[in-house]
Structure 1
């Protein structure tokens, strides 16, 4: 976690990155970057939630067995909670707006986004599992759910950490200007 309070060494401040920004400017930049991520995640979670909520009104919904209904109900709960987490930074910003709490807003929103990404991963894997279970049977559903979760873990957890480790050790073709985040 980046320390954005300015009281300790700020991991986001690289003196060789060509930026000459104050801690406040850095917080503003970080907030702008987080807003872009929020736009993507909020849209995605709302679409997933809408899809799951609409599914219950489809004529074939009654064909689901007890296991599939349980999975569906769990997915609805997870996707609603994920949507709530993805929208929480809006409320946080509204309450703390003009309270000189930008560092708190940025740090808290970062945490909200991390939890939201976890909820999206569970929702994507569970939705794949439910659909493939319905179409191809239990084994197909489990295989699809595990497969999606494996791909998500590789792309969202493993790959970023590998790239971060490489960047920290100066491995790769990026320049210091490319590593400004």
Structure 2
């Protein structure tokens, strides 16, 4: 059997695997896209509120940074859709899945940063308290545990030895496999 036709894992060819991974990736992206688009849409309205002009310069800077992060996260999480449209039918699905997985991973990191920044801004404005950075840090740690720590732990402890010998996944290493 040729390299491209070799079957592994689920008894699927490279093309079948790429098709399955693409469907799984798009399902994952849909969840993240919804969250980032709602958050970004909300952020875009804040500047038009009367209270915005009353914000301290530091809070306005945090707001601007948050909007830019939200825009970048949106771009990265919508990117796989554009990628698929532009390369569809060109017989590059395995490569497209790897690239889309990298964009999704970057988008999730940017989404984490956007959410942390938005939380920082909201809590600073709402409480004016010195404990806000600690609370935001605790939430970021929680996100890191849920989004990266537990998945990487499960990957390390529940991956079969024969699957560990597989070439690096879509993101080229430990943190970016595009499938479960």
Q: In the alignment, is the contact (CA less than 8 A) between 1:41 and 1:86 conserved in 2?
A: yes
RMSD, aligned CA: 2.0
CA distance in 2, matches of 1:143, 1:69: 20
CA distance in 1, matches of 2:33, 2:138: 24
Deviation at 1:59, TM superposition (A): 2.0
Deviation at 1:147, TM superposition (A): 1.7
Partner of 1:174: none
Question: Which consecutive segments of 4 or more residues in structure 1 shift more than 3 A?
Answer: none
Task: Confirm or deny that 1:151 pairs with 2:124.
Answer: no
Deviation at 1:108, TM superposition (A): 0.3
Farther-moved stretch of structure 1 (59-68 vs 141-150): 141-150
Choose the corresponding residue for 2:39, options 35, 43, 48. Answer: 48
Deviation at 1:95, TM superposition (A): 1.3
Structure 1: 5+ residue stretches without partners: 1-5, 171-179
CA distance in 2, matches of 1:168, 1:103: 21
Partner of 2:25: 34
Partner of 1:69: 60
Q: In the alignment, is the contact (CA less than 8 A) between 1:27 and 1:106 conserved in 2?
A: yes
CA distance in 2, matches of 1:138, 1:53: 25
TM-score, with structure 1 as normaliser: 0.81
String of CA shifts for 1:89-129, please: whole Å, max 9, x gaps.
12211111110010111000000010000011101111111
Structure 2: 5+ residue stretches without partners: 162-178
Task: Confirm or deny that 1:86 pairs with 2:77.
Answer: yes
